[in-house]
Amino acid sequence: MKSKMLAASAAVLALVGCGSITRGTTESVTITASPDDAKISTSTGQYCPRSPCTIEVKRKTEFTAFAEKEGYEKGSIEIKTKVGGNGAAGLAGNVLVGGVIGIGVDAATGAALDHFPNPAYIVLNRIGHAPAKIEPKTPHKPRHRTTAKPSV
């Protein structure tokens, strides 16, 4: 009986560290465009009639998001993946508990990954207008005035 309890406890601990169970294999990604009523589509085939748009994507899937609106140039942004803080904690949990299988499952499903940027922003430029330039601020140099020294 004790061996069954020990095995059950080990199994529960292994599952707690497994990102596939604690984080899931999908993630919500929010895409916002300016102007805010632009249509959003993705290279994964998902679509929203207007921004902002939240879609559910497999954690291991990198994709491109597109925004478009009549009178504006089409815009896009690449959404990549990387091991996030919570994903790293899940992998560490697998290592601590000895869950080699959990590490393999997390790697295969992408459960340790997060999408970035998330949220993602796409700024559309009006057709025929130059894109807004953001000038870096230069430090203001104070002007030194020389004053005549009073004669004695």
Residue with the two structure tokens 């954690």: 59
Rounded Cα distance between 84 and 44, Å, is 22
Rounded Cα distance between 33 and 149, Å, is 61
pTM equals: 0.62
Residues 6+ apart with CB under 8 A from 148: none
Where are the chain's structural domains? 12-123
DSSP for 27-61, please give it: EEEEEEEESTT-EEEETTS-EESSSSEEEEEETT-
Tell me which amino acid residue 85 is. Answer: G
pLDDT score for 129? 76
Q: Three-class SS of residue 128?
A: coil
β-pairing, 113-116 with 39-42?
Answer: unpaired
pLDDT (tens place) for every residue of the chain, 152 residues total: 555 544 444 444 444 444 445 568 899 999 999 999 999 999 999 999 999 999 999 999 999 999 999 999 999 999 999 987 654 444 444 444 445 545 555 566 777 889 999 999 999 999 987 766 555 555 555 554 555 555 55
Tell me which amino acid residue 48 is. Answer: C
SS (H, E, C) 1-19: CHHHHHHHHHHHHHHHHCH
Residues 6+ apart with CB under 8 A from 58: 25, 26, 110
pLDDT score for 107? 61
